[in-house]
Amino acid sequence: MKHLPVMNQAADPGESACSRRQFASIAAAAAAGFLLTACGPRRLREMPKARLRQALDEMEREYAAKRGMAVQVADTPPMPDVLFGYALDLSRCIGCRRCVYACVEENNLSRDPQLHWIRVLQMEKEKGVDFRHADPYYAPAEVPEEGHFYVPVACQQCRNAPCVKTCPTGATWMEPDGIVVIDYDWCIGCRCCMAACPYGARHFNWAEPRIPAGELNPATHYLGNRPRPNGVVEKCTFCIQRVRKGRYPACVEVCPVGARKFGNLLDKDSEIRYIIENKRVLVLKQELNTLPKFFYFYAT
């Protein structure tokens, strides 16, 4: 199968000029936002539900003014008795990077500079899962390559997450459904979490993220794929905007070989539970005791 490149050509900037009316609405939104945040809890995590909705309405207006299109910022809460888990079949993955780009589009990742939440590593079958011999920049004419296998790595959604522990402002935390999220309005961009993450899963916006006009996915969640500012950290959220509505993450849907499995770890009859109980399963860097909810397995 043909694989996608590790990085694309730089995309055109998609900024539209700001009209007077847009400016007025941005100014009004800023003023309202200031009043809203000037009193009471400021972190999205501890905002009461009604206040949170108001804040998200502000965000919607701000994004709409900036992008010239309607953007929804959902506050879909976690479902009761759900703990999300992920499993990836290493014997099936062919390293085509379809998941990488589906993720970019779904989660509104910056196209220029390019940012990826999923990194596919090419490894040698002889050496097994060994990061010292991993190549993220493989570019043969066709994948899979003889003697190689592929390990896609994104946020492992650790139960004992080093990133959450190190954050000095409490801008990142684990939700009740097990998704580790970031408050992009509270993150100061110190990058302690990036130093702490053993999986290179956290990515920093080194410049203003840019998404060409018309390519923004307007269905967003406040803890997930809403547009991010420059200077904050972001990462995979299991597509929180989709999975909390009962859908699969974009990478699961796009995978052409069905290597990606997703489900509720608390549901005894789920596919993910079947895999964990019946297949040969491993987690990355088990010795670090991060307790990932992202499992790798060999189905065949």
Q: Please report whether residue 127 would count as binding other proteins according to CB under 8 A.
A: no
Pick between residue 16 and residue 169 the one whose CB is nearest to other proteins. Answer: 169
Q: Determine, following the binding rule CB under 8 A, whether residue 6 of this chain makes contact with other proteins.
A: no
Q: How many helices (H) and strands (E) does the chain have?
A: 8, 12
- By CB under 8 A, residue 196 contacts other proteins: yes
Is 145 one of the binding residues for other proteins (CB under 8 A)?
Answer: no
Name which of 26 and 194 has its Cβ closer to other proteins: 194
Nearer to other proteins, 149 or 199 (CB): 199
Supply the minimum distance, in Å, between the C-beta of residue 203 and other proteins: 6
Site string for other proteins, 21-60 (x = CB under 8 A): ---------------------xx-----------------
Q: For other proteins, which stretch binds (CB under 8 A), given 15-23, 26-34, 68-76, 167-175? A: 167-175
Residue 39 to residues 26, 42, 49, 83, 169, Cα–Cα distance (Å): 20, 8, 15, 34, 18
Q: Residues touching other proteins: how many (CB under 8 A)?
A: 46
Min separation Cβ 267 and other proteins, Å: 31
Nearer to other proteins, 51 or 191 (CB): 191
| Helix orientation angle between 49-67 and 20-38, rounded to the nearest 10 degrees | 160
The secondary structure of residue 79, as a DSSP letter, is P
In the complex, minimum distance from the CB of residue 64 to other proteins, in angstroms, rounded to a whole number: 23
Chain residues 219-238 in contact with other proteins, contact rule CB under 8 A: 229-233
Whole-angstrom Cα distance, residue 81 to residue 200? 30
Cα Rg for the chain, rounded, in angstroms? 20
- Per the CB < 8 A criterion, the answer to whether 242 and 249 are in contact is yes
Q: What is the dihedral of CA 100, 86, 125, 102, to 10 degrees?
A: -10
The SS3 call for residue 180 is strand
CA distance 251 to 258: 10
Stretch binding other proteins (CB under 8 A), from 48-56, 66-74, 133-141, 270-278: 133-141
Q: Please spell the DSSP secondary structure of 184-237, one letter per residue.
A: TTT-----HHHHH-TT---EE-SS-----TT----EEETTTTS---TT-EE---
Q: Which of 14, 33, 78, 198 binds other proteins (CB under 8 A)?
A: 198
CA 176, CA 13: separation in Å to the nearest integer? 37
Which residues make up the interface to other proteins (CB under 8 A)? Answer: 42-43, 113, 119, 121, 131-134, 136, 153, 162, 165-171, 186-192, 194-200, 203-208, 229-233, 288-289
